[in-house]
Amino acid sequence: MYYNFIMRKTIIAFLTVCLLAPLSLAIDSPADQAYINLLSYRHNKLELVTKKRLIDEKRNYSDTDIDSTTLSWEAYSNTSTNISTNSYSRSEVKEINDWYIYLGGIGELSDWDFLQLIGEQQELARITALEDGKVRMRTIGNVFIGGGVLAMLGAVALSSGSSLATGGALGMTAGFFLSAFNLTPAHYIRPEYAQAKIDQYNIALKRKLNLPLNLD
């Protein structure tokens, strides 16, 4: 009886060791965990990247002078006209600074994605309201454009006066301006604001992963 008891304890101990051995191997060492945390930070950190581009703006100007001279002698007269046109060209190179927000150095984030990630709901609501207003204005502009086209087509089909066609042209022009001045900008937030929030987010992420704060 005692022998059987000893054998059962031995078998149970052996099975316990066999079961716990893989678990002990699966537990990461401190060095491995530090490396995993470093990878997690690299994949989830935020960065603000600036890019410069050059734009060559060319402007052309011209002016025309018309000089007319009439010479009269008794019943005869002679008129001469001199037309001269001068053209000017001006070229200017401008430097444009664009900026982008990246997650993990790869994925570009929009203002909406960025604000949602860092939890800035108030700022997110503000830029959403601004964009909704621009969408409404573009919709009104499209209505003006469509109405202007229909008015001009109706003027041609009905052979009506020029007032209908003129009204249609003015409607189209107003619609184009409404749409053009209400395009979605590249960013609704300022780069200074974005950089400050990125720094706060990255510091919190480093603390969560037990990484040094001076880590780039």
CA dist 51 → 54, 112, 131 (Å) = 10, 21, 25
**Is residue 99 within 8 Å of 50, Cβ to Cβ?**
yes
**Is residue 36 within 8 Å of 211, Cβ to Cβ?**
no
- The pLDDT assigned to 157 comes to 74
Q: Whole-model pTM above 0.75?
A: no
- The pLDDT assigned to 194 comes to 97
Angstrom distance (rounded) from CA 168 to CA 157 = 14
Angstrom distance (rounded) from CA 62 to CA 195 = 46
pLDDT under 50: residue ranges of the chain: 1-5, 15, 17, 20-21, 23-26
Q: Which two tokens stand for residue 111?
A: 């203002």
